[in-house]
Chains A and B, each alone.
Chain A
Amino acid sequence: MHSPELLKGTLQTIVLKVLKDRGRMYGYEITNCVRELSDSRLQLTEGALYPTLHKLEAEGFLKTETVMIGKRVRKYYSLTAEGRASTRERVSEFVDFIRTMSNVLQVELG
C-alpha cells in the first residue's frame, strides 16, 4: 500500500479524474473505484475524501444531486464544465510532474 503522505497532493486530481471517467458517483463508490483501479494499493480515507469533495464543490468544480434510497439519502457528485477543464489541466500537470520526478530521481519509467 502506498503511504498516505504521497497521496495528499494528488487527492483532488484523482477525484476529478475518476469522476470525469465514470460520470456521477457517490462518496463510497469513489473509494471503491480508486481501490480497484490501484489494485488495492491506494486506500482513500473517508476523513480525507469528504473534505476534498466539499472543497471542490465549494470551489465550483463539482455539482451534486441527491437521491432517496429507502431510508437514506445518497449524494452523487459530478463534474461541472469548469471542473472538466480543470481536470484536464491537472492531469497533464501531474504527468509532467512524474516526468520531472523521474529525471530528478534518475529512474526510467517502466
Chain B
Amino acid sequence: MALSSEHIDFIIKDLNHRGIIIEEIEAEILDHVCSAVEDRMNQGERFQDAYDRVVCAFGQTRGLLDTQQKVLEAEHQNKPGRMIKNFITIGLRNVRKQGFYSFINITGLAVGLAACLVITLFIIDELSYDKYNTKADRIYRVNNEIKFAENYYHITSSSAPTAHALQQDYPEIEATVRFRSYGSYLVRPEIATESIKENRVIWTDSTFFRIFSVNVIQGDARTALAQPASIAISNSLAQKYFPNESALGQSLLLDEKYNAKITAVFEDMPRASHFHFDMLIAMVGDWPVAQEAQSTVFLSNNFQTYVLLKEGASSRALEEKFPGFLDKYVGPQIAQIFGKGFTMKQFEESGNKYQMTLMPLLDIHLYSDLKGELEANGSVTYVYLLTAVALFILTIACINFMNLSTARSSNRAKEVGVRKVMGSMRSHLVRQFLTESTLITLFAFVVAVGLAYLILPFFNDLALKQLEIPFQSPLFYIALLLGVFLVGLMAGLYPSFILSAFNPAQVLKGTLAKGSRSGMVRSSLVIFQFIISIFLIIGAITIQRQLTYIQNKKLGFEKNQVLVVHDAYALRPNVEVFKQAVKSIAGVENCTVSGFLPVENSDVSRNDNSFWKEGKTPSTENLVSIQDWRVDDEYVQTLGMKMKVGRSFSPEFPSDSDAVVLNEAAVAQFGLGENPIGQRIATFKAQRPDGSPDPTRLSTWTVIGVVENFHFSTMREGITALGLFLRRSDGFVSIRFQGKDTQSIINEVESAWKRLAPGKPFQYGFLDDDFGKMYANEQRLGKIFGLFAGLAILIACLGLFALTSFTAEQRTKEIGIRKVLGASVPSIVLLLSREFGKLILIAFLLAAPLAWYGVDWWLNRYTYKTEIGVGVYLIAGLTAFAVALITMGYQSIRAASNNPVKSLRSE
C-alpha cells in the first residue's frame, strides 16, 4: 500500500526536525524511508512502529545527520574545484555587494602595493650593481687607510707601483688594473674643428678588458690599449664622432695635445656599474700620465687599483700579507724622508695607522663612500630605509583590510551562523574568507601594477634611475602571484579566524555585540598605522630642515651671484686676456681664475700636501696635511671670503709668490699661536729622479693672512686645514656679478670666450647650483621620503575614513535618538571623532620617542646639523591629527546632520 499524504508530510517534518535539510539529500532519504515504511506496513506493521524501526535502522537522528554529512563530504572529496568555484562566486558577490568598502580596500592596498613594487624595483636595481662582470666575485679594489698626527685618509686609490708589486709578490693574483682620472677632456676628430667636452674619460692599463666584462665590438680586446697613444671608446662615442663610418683606426685629438688612435670600440658600459667610461686611454708611452704610471714611488696614492684573484684564492689570506707588503715597499721610502730611525712598526706603535684592504667589487656600490670614488655610489642605508618604508606602507594597507573586515564582522555574523547551521565546517569558512581577501588582493595587484607603471617615470626622475616594470619576465608574474597569495593571507588570516569562530547559536539569537568584539585589536592597529605615519612625517621634515640648514648656513663664502666658466685651460694662452675682458663687462665686480672652488664635484681640483712649521723636524708628529690650493690674487675677494687677520694676495707685493694664506683650522693645527702673521711653514721642494721627495731641498712660505674658516666640502665633514698659494691653475673662471640681468652678462662672457677660444665649447654654471648638487643625494632622499610619508598617511586615512563611516552607520539610531533629545550637530561630531582622536594622540606619544631616536641617528652623520626642536614633533602630530580630523569630519558631519526621522522611522 502507498503512504498517505499526511504520512509523507509527517515524515518530511520529522526529518527536517532531526536536521536533514539539504534538499537533494532530504528527497533521497525521504524516498528511502517511505519505501521501507511501506514494505513494513505491507507486512502488517502500524505506520508509527514501521517509521520508528526505519529511523532506528538509520541510527536515529545521529545516524541520519552522519549520513547527510558523509554524503556532502563524498560529493566534495574529489571535486575541490567545485568548492573553490563556490568560494570565488560568493567572494565576488560580497566584493560587489560592499562596493564602498571593497573600493577602500582595493584602493588602499593598490596604492600600498604600487609603492612596494616601485621600491622593490629600486632595491633590485641597487643590488644588481657590477653583477654584469662574470668574474665579479674575484675582483677586489685596494683601499688604503692612513692616519698620522691629525691627518686621516681613507681612500680608494693606491700608489702607481702597487699594482705591479702586488702581482709580482703574490701568485694568487691573476691580473691587476689601475685607473687614473684627470677629469674631462675637450675632444675632436683630427679633421673637425669643433671640440666637444667629454667627462667620462679615464687612463687605464691594457688589462681592463681582461678583468671587467665590457664587450669589445670592434678591435681586439687583448691588444687594445697595449700600444702608446691608443684609446678605446664606447659605441655611443663612436657614433657621435664617426656617425657613418667605422671608428676603428681613426684618431681623436684630446685637449689639442694628445693625438690618440682608436684601437677598440666597446659596448656602452651597463647602467648598473660603479663606473661609466666613454673613453679609456692607454697608460703606456711617454705622455705625462703614462710616465706617472711608471713611477716607483709608493707615497702618493693616485691610482684606483683593482686585482683579479685566481679561482679559489682567499682575499682574507691575501689581506693578512699586506702588512708585510707595506714593510717591504712603503716603509723604506718613508724612512728616506724621516731619517733612518723610522720603521713601520714604530709608526704604528705611536698611534698611527697605515692599512691596505681589499674591497669586493660587489660591495663598492652600496658600501663604499671613501675619498676618490670614481662616481657617487649608492648607499646601503637608503636601501634599508626604503625597505622599511615599503614594509611600513604594506603593513598599513593590510591593517586597513583587517580592520574593515573585523569591524564589519557583525554584518556577516548572520551569514556565518547560517553557514554553520547548514553544516559548513570552520575550515570551509576560513577558506571562504581567505578566498575573498585573496580576490581583493588580486584586484589590488592588477591596479597596483597599473599605478606603478604610471608612477615609475616620476620616480625615475626623482631617484635618477631608469627602472622598468619587467613585463616580459615570467619571474615577475610568478613573484606577483606569490605576492597575491602572501598579502591575501597576511590581510585575510586574522579576520577569517575571528569571523569563523562565531558561535552560530549566539549569533542567530542576536546576542553578539555588534562589531565590538575586536575593538581592542582594531584600536591597536589604528595606533600602529599612525605611529608609522607620524614617524615618516617627522623623518621627512627632518631631512627638509637639514637641507634648508645647509643651504642657509653661513658658509664663509658667498655662493650667490657667482658665474663659473668651466674648462678655462681651453683659453690658453689667452687666459689672462679673457680675465681682463670679463672684468671690463658692466656688472662684473670681480673675477678670479683657479681650478679650486669651495664646492665638490668631479671637475673641481683638490690637492693636498704636507707641511710643517719652520724650525721643527719633518716627523710624523709635526707634519700637517693641508689642502694646497693654487689661486690668483683676486680669489678671496671674488668668492667673498673674509680675512680674519692680515691681508690677502696683492699684485703690489712681488714677494707674495712665497706667501701663503691659511685658514683658521690650519693655524690651529700648525700651532702658530696668537700671531701667525710673518711665521713660516716649510715643505719639500723637489723630487729626486725616482720621484720621491728630496729631504735636503726645502721651500718655505710666509703666512701673510688668515682667512676665516669656510666650508669647502659637504657638511658631513668638518673644515680641515687649508692654505692658499699664489700660483697658476686654470680650471675655472669665477665671476662675481651684480644686478639682475644675468643673461646679458652670460652673453657677453660667451662672446669673449668665442673670440679667445674659437671652436671650444663654452660651458658655465653658477656656484650656488654646484653647491646644491653636493647635496643631491639628500635632496633625493628628502623627496622620496616625503612622497612615501604622504602615501602612508593617505592610506592610513583611507582606512580611518572607512572605519568612521562604518561607526557612523552603526550608530545611526543612537545619533537619531540623541538628536531627538536635543543634541547639537557639533556635539555629535565630537562624539564620533573623539574615539579615533584619542588613538591618534596615543600614536603620537609612542611615535615621538621612536622618531627622536631615528632623527638623532641620521643627523649624527653630519658635523654641522640643524636642531630638531619640539616644534617639528608638534607639527607632525598636528598634521596627522588634522588630516585624520578632516577625514573623520566628513563622515561625522554627514551622520550628525542626517534627519533623525529618517533613521528612526524604520524601527
Interface residues of A (CB under 8 A from B): 26-29, 45-47, 50-52, 54-55, 57-59, 66, 69-75
- In the complex, the answer to whether B8 meets A47 with C-beta atoms within 8 Å is no
B855 within 8 A of A: no
Q: Which of A29, A47, A59, A74 contacts B59 (CB 8 A)?
A: A47
Q: Which of B5, B30, B34, B67 contacts A46 (CB 8 A)?
A: B67
B698 within 8 A of A: no
B31 within 8 A of A: yes
B581 within 8 A of A: no
A89 to B759, CA, bound (A): 95
- In the complex, the answer to whether A75 meets B63 with C-beta atoms within 8 Å is no
Q: Per-position contact with A for B16-59: 1 when CB-CB < 8 Å, else 0?
A: 00000000010111111011100000000000000000000111
Residue from A52, A55, A66, A75 having most chain B Cβ neighbours under 10 A: A55
A69 to B, closest residue via Cβ: B31
Q: Per-position contact with A for B69-95: 1 when CB-CB < 8 Å, else 0?
A: 011011111110000000000000000
Q: A27-B28, A71-B8, A72-B8 are in contact. Are A52 and B74 (CB under 8 A)?
A: yes
Q: Distance in Å from the Cβ of A68 to the closest Cβ of chain B? A: 10
A52 to B67, CA, bound (A): 10
Q: A46 — which chain B residues lie within 8 A by C-beta?
A: 29, 32, 57-58, 63, 67
B748 within 8 A of A: no
Q: B63 — which chain A residues lie within 8 A by C-beta?
A: 46-47
- In the complex, the answer to whether A73 meets B31 with C-beta atoms within 8 Å is yes
Q: Which of B2, B25, B67 contacts A70 (CB 8 A)?
A: B2
Q: B79 — which chain A residues lie within 8 A by C-beta?
A: 58
- In the complex, the answer to whether B74 meets A54 with C-beta atoms within 8 Å is yes
- In the complex, the answer to whether B70 meets A51 with C-beta atoms within 8 Å is yes
Residue from A27, A45, A46 having most chain B Cβ neighbours under 10 A: A46
Q: Distance in Å from the Cβ of B8 to the closest Cβ of chain A? A: 5
- In the complex, the answer to whether B8 meets A51 with C-beta atoms within 8 Å is no
A61 to B30, CA, bound (A): 24
Q: A46-B32, A47-B66 are in contact. Are A58 and B78 (CB under 8 A)?
A: yes
Number of interface residues of B (CB under 8 A): 28
Q: A27-B32, A47-B70, A52-B74 are in contact. Are A73 and B27 (CB under 8 A)?
A: yes
B76 to A, closest residue via Cβ: A58
A59 to B77, CA, bound (A): 9
Q: B27 — which chain A residues lie within 8 A by C-beta?
A: 66, 72-73, 75
Q: Per-position contact with A for B142-184: 1 when CB-CB < 8 Å, else 0?
A: 0000000000000000000000000000000000000000000
A4 to B27, CA, bound (A): 26
Q: Distance in Å from the Cβ of A59 to the closest Cβ of chain B? A: 6
Q: Distance in Å from the Cβ of A87 to the closest Cβ of chain B? A: 18
Q: A54 — which chain B residues lie within 8 A by C-beta?
A: 71, 74-75
Q: A46-B57, A47-B63 are in contact. Are A71 and B74 (CB under 8 A)?
A: no
30 A-B contacts, Cβ less than 8 Å apart? A26-B31, A27-B28, A28-B31, A28-B35, A45-B57, A46-B32, A46-B58, A47-B66, A50-B25, A50-B29, A50-B70, A50-B71, A51-B70, A51-B71, A52-B74, A54-B75, A55-B78, A58-B75, A58-B77, A58-B78, A66-B27, A70-B8, A71-B8, A72-B27, A72-B30, A72-B31, A73-B30, A73-B31, A75-B27, A75-B28
A55 to B75, CA, bound (A): 5
B62 to A, closest residue via Cβ: A47
B74 to A, closest residue via Cβ: A55
A54 to B67, CA, bound (A): 11
Q: Which of A51, A59, A69, A74 contacts B67 (CB 8 A)?
A: A51
A75 to B27, CA, bound (A): 8
B residues 709-726 touching A (CB-CB < 8 Å): none
A54 to B29, CA, bound (A): 13
Q: B30 — which chain A residues lie within 8 A by C-beta?
A: 72-73
Q: A47 — which chain B residues lie within 8 A by C-beta?
A: 58-59, 63, 66-67, 70
Q: B70 — which chain A residues lie within 8 A by C-beta?
A: 47, 50-51
A74 to B38, CA, bound (A): 14
Q: Which of A51, A52, A57, A74 contacts B31 (CB 8 A)?
A: A74
Q: Distance in Å from the Cβ of B363 to the closest Cβ of chain A? A: 60
Q: Which of B8, B59, B77 contacts A55 (CB 8 A)?
A: B77
A88 to B223, CA, bound (A): 80
Q: Distance in Å from the Cβ of A51 to the closest Cβ of chain B? A: 4
- In the complex, the answer to whether B36 meets A28 with C-beta atoms within 8 Å is yes
B57 to A, closest residue via Cβ: A46
- In the complex, the answer to whether B78 meets A75 with C-beta atoms within 8 Å is no
B11 to A, closest residue via Cβ: A72
Q: B77 — which chain A residues lie within 8 A by C-beta?
A: 55, 58
Q: A50-B71, A71-B8 are in contact. Are A28 and B78 (CB under 8 A)?
A: no
Q: Distance in Å from the Cβ of A64 to the closest Cβ of chain B? A: 10
A42 to B74, CA, bound (A): 23
A2 to B71, CA, bound (A): 24
A73 to B26, CA, bound (A): 10
Q: B66 — which chain A residues lie within 8 A by C-beta?
A: 47
A27 to B33, CA, bound (A): 10
Q: Which of A29, A50, A58, A72 contacts B34 (CB 8 A)?
A: A72
Q: Distance in Å from the Cβ of B706 to the closest Cβ of chain A? A: 96
A75 to B, closest residue via Cβ: B28
- In the complex, the answer to whether B32 meets A28 with C-beta atoms within 8 Å is yes
Q: Distance in Å from the Cβ of B355 to the closest Cβ of chain A? A: 75
A99 to B71, CA, bound (A): 33
Residue from A29, A51, A58, A66 having most chain B Cβ neighbours under 10 A: A51
Q: Distance in Å from the Cβ of B29 to the closest Cβ of chain A? A: 7
Q: A71 — which chain B residues lie within 8 A by C-beta?
A: 5, 8
- In the complex, the answer to whether A51 meets B74 with C-beta atoms within 8 Å is yes
Residue from B30, B31, B63, B70 having most chain A Cβ neighbours under 10 A: B31
Q: Per-position contact with A for B314-345: 1 when CB-CB < 8 Å, else 0?
A: 00000000000000000000000000000000
A72 to B29, CA, bound (A): 10
Q: A26 — which chain B residues lie within 8 A by C-beta?
A: 31-32, 35
A45 to B5, CA, bound (A): 27
B66 to A, closest residue via Cβ: A47
Q: Which 6 pairs across A and B sit closest by C-beta, in order of nearness?
A: A55-B74, A51-B70, A28-B35, A51-B74, A73-B27, A54-B74
Q: Distance in Å from the Cβ of B678 to the closest Cβ of chain A? A: 106
Q: B76 — which chain A residues lie within 8 A by C-beta?
A: 58
Q: Which of B28, B35, B78 contacts A50 (CB 8 A)?
A: B28
Q: Distance in Å from the Cβ of B807 to the closest Cβ of chain A? A: 46
A28 to B, closest residue via Cβ: B35
A24 to B654, CA, bound (A): 125
A28 to B28, CA, bound (A): 9
Q: A28 — which chain B residues lie within 8 A by C-beta?
A: 31-32, 35-36
Q: A51 — which chain B residues lie within 8 A by C-beta?
A: 67, 70-71, 73-74
Given contacts A45-B57, A46-B63, A52-B74, 4 further A-B contacts (CB under 8 A): A26-B31, A54-B74, A69-B31, A72-B30
A28 to B76, CA, bound (A): 23
Q: Distance in Å from the Cβ of A57 to the closest Cβ of chain B? A: 8
A26 to B8, CA, bound (A): 18
Q: Distance in Å from the Cβ of B70 to the closest Cβ of chain A? A: 4
A29 to B74, CA, bound (A): 21
A59 to B32, CA, bound (A): 23
A59 to B, closest residue via Cβ: B78
Q: A66 — which chain B residues lie within 8 A by C-beta?
A: 27
B30 to A, closest residue via Cβ: A72
Residue from B29, B58, B70, B74 having most chain A Cβ neighbours under 10 A: B74
- In the complex, the answer to whether B57 meets A58 with C-beta atoms within 8 Å is no
Q: Distance in Å from the Cβ of B40 to the closest Cβ of chain A? A: 12
B67 to A, closest residue via Cβ: A47
A49 to B747, CA, bound (A): 101
A80 to B25, CA, bound (A): 21
A54 to B71, CA, bound (A): 6
A28 to B58, CA, bound (A): 12
Q: B36 — which chain A residues lie within 8 A by C-beta?
A: 28
Q: B2 — which chain A residues lie within 8 A by C-beta?
A: 70
